[in-house]
Amino acid sequence: MVAESRHSRMVTRTVDLRSDSVTKPTEAMRAAMANAEVDDDVFGHDPSALRLETEMAKIMGKEAALFVPSGTMSNLISVLVHCSIRGSEVILGNKSHIHIYENGGISTIGGVHPRSVKNNEDGTMDIDLIEAAIRDPRGEIVYPTTRLICLENSHTSCGGRCLSVEYTDRVGALAKKHGLKLHIDGARIFNASVALGVPVSRLVQDADSVSVCLSKGLGAPVGSVIVGSKSFVAKARILRKTLGGGMRQVGVLCAAALVAVQENVSKLEDDHKKAKMLAEGLNRIKGLRVNVAAVETNIVYFDVVKGAAEKLCKNLEQHGILIMQESPISIRVALHHQISASDVQYTLSCFKQALTGEVQEDNGI
Ligand SMILES: Cc1ncc(COP(=O)(O)O)c(C=O)c1O
Ligand SMILES: C[C@@H](O)[C@H](N)C(=O)O
Q: Kindly report, residue by residue over 117-127, the tens digit of the pLDDT.
A: 999 999 999 99
Whole-angstrom distance, CA of residue 243 vs CA of residue 114: 20
Cβ of 19 below 6 Å from ligand 2:
yes
Ligand approaching nearest to the C-alpha of 216 = 1
Report the share of the chain in percent with pLDDT over 90.
93
CA of 18 to the centre of ligand 1 (A): 13
> Which residues are CB-contacts of 356 (< 8 A; sequence separation ≥ 6)?
285, 286, 287
Query: What pLDDT, on a 0 to 100 scale, did the predictor assign at position 7?
Result: 46
Cβ of 101 below 6 Å from ligand 2:
yes
Query: What pLDDT, on a 0 to 100 scale, did the predictor assign at position 43?
Result: 96
Parallel, antiparallel or unpaired: strands 145-152 and 88-93: parallel
Nearest CA to ligand 2 atom 6: 19
Q: Is the pLDDT of residue 9 over 60?
A: no
Query: What pLDDT, on a 0 to 100 scale, did the predictor assign at position 198?
Result: 98
Nearest CA to ligand 2 atom 8: 19
Whole-angstrom distance, CA of residue 152 vs CA of residue 19: 17
Cβ of 22 below 6 Å from ligand 2:
no
Cβ of 156 below 6 Å from ligand 2:
yes
Measured from the Cα of 101, ligand 2's closest atom is 3
pLDDT band for position 359 (50/70/90)?
Answer: low
Q: What is the mean pLDDT of residues 271-295?
A: 97
Whole-angstrom distance, CA of residue 127 vs CA of residue 174: 8
Count, in order, helices (H) and strands (E) of the chain: 14, 13
SS3 264: helix
Query: What pLDDT, on a 0 to 100 scale, did the predictor assign at position 360?
Result: 65
CB of 335 within 8 A of CB of 278? yes
Query: What pLDDT, on a 0 to 100 scale, did the predictor assign at position 361?
Result: 63
pTM of the full predicted structure? 0.95
Q: Where are the alpha helices (DSSP H) in the chain?
A: 27-34, 47-60, 71-82, 97-100, 105-108, 127-133, 165-177, 189-196, 200-203, 230-242, 251-264, 268-283, 309-317, 341-356
Q: Is the pLDDT of residue 303 over 70?
A: yes
Report the share of the chain in percent with pLDDT over 70.
95
Whole-angstrom distance, CA of residue 345 vs CA of residue 357: 16
Query: What pLDDT, on a 0 to 100 scale, did the predictor assign at position 2?
Result: 38
Q: Where are the alpha helices (DSSP H) in 178-250?
A: 189-196, 200-203, 230-242
Q: What is the mean pLDDT of residues 41-66?
A: 98
Q: Is the pLDDT of residue 6 over 70?
A: no
Query: What pLDDT, on a 0 to 100 scale, did the predictor assign at position 93?
Result: 98
CB of 160 within 8 A of CB of 298? yes
Query: What pLDDT, on a 0 to 100 scale, did the predictor assign at position 5?
Result: 44
Q: What is the mean pLDDT of residues 138-166?
A: 97
Tell me the average pLDDT of the chain.
95
Q: What is the mean pLDDT of residues 67-81?
A: 98
Measured from the Cα of 185, ligand 1's closest atom is 3
CB of 48 within 8 A of CB of 34? no
Measured from the Cα of 156, ligand 2's closest atom is 7
pLDDT band for position 357 (50/70/90)?
Answer: confident
| Other beta carbons less than 10 A from residue 48's beta carbon | 26
CA of 74 to the centre of ligand 1 (A): 9
Whole-angstrom distance, CA of residue 322 vs CA of residue 16: 5
- pLDDT digits 0-9 by tens, 176-222: 999 999 999 999 999 999 999 999 999 999 999 999 999 999 999 99
Measured from the Cα of 70, ligand 1's closest atom is 10
Query: What pLDDT, on a 0 to 100 scale, did the predictor assign at position 10?
Result: 61
Residues with CB under 6 A from ligand 1: 21, 70-72, 75, 97, 152, 156, 185, 187, 213, 215-216, 224
Q: Is the pLDDT of residue 308 over 90?
A: no
Q: Is the pLDDT of residue 286 over 50?
A: yes
> Which residues are CB-contacts of 34 (< 8 A; sequence separation ≥ 6)?
none
CA of 287 to the centre of ligand 1 (A): 30
Whole-angstrom distance, CA of residue 277 vs CA of residue 41: 43
pLDDT band for position 89 (50/70/90)?
Answer: very high
Report the chain's C-alpha Rg in angstroms. Answer: 21
pLDDT band for position 12 (50/70/90)?
Answer: confident
pLDDT band for position 305 (50/70/90)?
Answer: confident
> Which residues are CB-contacts of 300 (< 8 A; sequence separation ≥ 6)?
159, 160, 275, 278, 279, 282, 290, 332, 333, 334, 335
pLDDT band for position 291 (50/70/90)?
Answer: very high
pLDDT band for position 351 (50/70/90)?
Answer: very high
Q: Is the pLDDT of residue 288 over 70?
A: yes
Q: Is the pLDDT of residue 335 over 60?
A: yes
Running DSSP on this structure, what letter comes out for residue 111?
-
| Other beta carbons less than 10 A from residue 136's beta carbon | 8
Whole-angstrom distance, CA of residue 4 vs CA of residue 10: 5
Nearest CA to ligand 2 atom 4: 19
